[in-house]
Amino acid sequence: MSLKSTRRSDYETAAMPLGVMPKDYPDGFAVDTHRHTRGQLIYATAGLMKVSTATALWLVPPQHALWMPPELDHRMQAIGRVSLRSLYVRPDVLPPDLPAHPRVIRVSAFLRELLLRAAAVPIGYAEDSHDAQILAVLLGEIALACQAIDFRLATARDKRLARVCDALIADPARGDSLEDWASFAGTSGRTLARLFNREFGVTFSAWRQQVRIMLALPRLAAGEPVTVVAADLGYATPGAFTQVFRRLMGAAPSSYFED
């Protein structure tokens, strides 16, 4: 098999228990619903991955990764140009600390370097090699890094709500009122507000704020000024954006990506 194989089937059927696949995706590229026999860590060194299951979706920015357990249907879409590094883990070597459900983890500088180094390891590495040791350390670091970072956004079951959510993710700066969005979805403002609370447990405004902050993360990680990102996402002032960012992420946007 190729050192740089980009076919996930090669990693799913490899004799060795671990492997990291490097792959780049253009903006908007979608991988339809699929599942893996192995656990998968989805890590983008650049760009934003939208990953969804039947009940939830995640917007996974740089310096974060999503753990996807084996045998769970999911789909992915690239937002911006994405450079992906996917770790595949055979079920029989999964550490007990890894959760049985999807989980976003913060990728430290050390874990990032391990992932990048592991992406160069051949699929058919020797069991007693230095490469095998690197992959073992990588797996241990992932288990330690798993923490409850709430990047999950529930997937809308109602088609009207789903239409609004998809449009907001595509254009988060739209400042339309709840009534405007209700008209867009072909329903009333009261009904749309009830759908947000019933399906997501939050208000329309709160859900929009979550999406905006998630979409801000890859741009901030790339070094774009807070003033530009805030304006592009529909905030009246950088201060308003910073206030929301700090409340949701626990740190100011200027310091969030500091190791």
Hey, where are the domains in the chain? 8-149, 156-249
Give the distance from CA 210 to its chain's centroid.
13
Tokens of 191: 């009904």
Residue 46: its H or E element: strand 39-52
Tokens of 220: 């901030």
Q: For the segment 4-42, what is each residue's pLDDT rounded down to a tens digit?
A: 688 989 999 999 999 999 999 998 999 999 999 999 999
Q: Which residue is associated with the tokens 């090699």?
A: 129
Give the distance from CA 142 to its chain's centroid.
15
Q: What is the mean pLDDT of the chain?
A: 88
> What's domain 156-249's superfamily in CATH?
Homeodomain-like (1.10.10.60)
Mean pLDDT of 42-48: 87
What distance in Å separates the CA atoms of residue 104 and residue 43, rounded to the nearest whole number? 10
What distance in Å separates the CA atoms of residue 31 and residue 109, rounded to the nearest whole number? 28
Half-sphere exposure of 21 (CA within 13 A, CB side): 20
Q: Which residue is associated with the tokens 């770790």?
A: 87
Return the sign of the alpha-carbon dihedral for residues 70, 87, 94, 58: negative
Look at residues 55, 65, 60 and name the one whose alpha carbon lies nearest to residue 89: 65
Q: Which CATH architecture has domain 8-149?
A: Sandwich (2.60)
- Is 190:197 a contact under the CB 8 Å cutoff? no
- 127: burial class by Cβ within 10 Å (0-12, 13-18, 19+)? exposed
Q: For the segment 133-185, what is each residue's pLDDT rounded down to a tens digit?
A: 999 999 988 888 775 455 677 778 899 999 999 999 889 999 999 999 999 99
Look at residues 151, 33, 7 and name the one whose alpha carbon lies nearest to residue 86: 7
- Is 106:145 a contact under the CB 8 Å cutoff? yes
Mean pLDDT of 97-110: 85
Torsion from C-alpha of 199, 200, 203, 207, nearest 10 degrees: -130
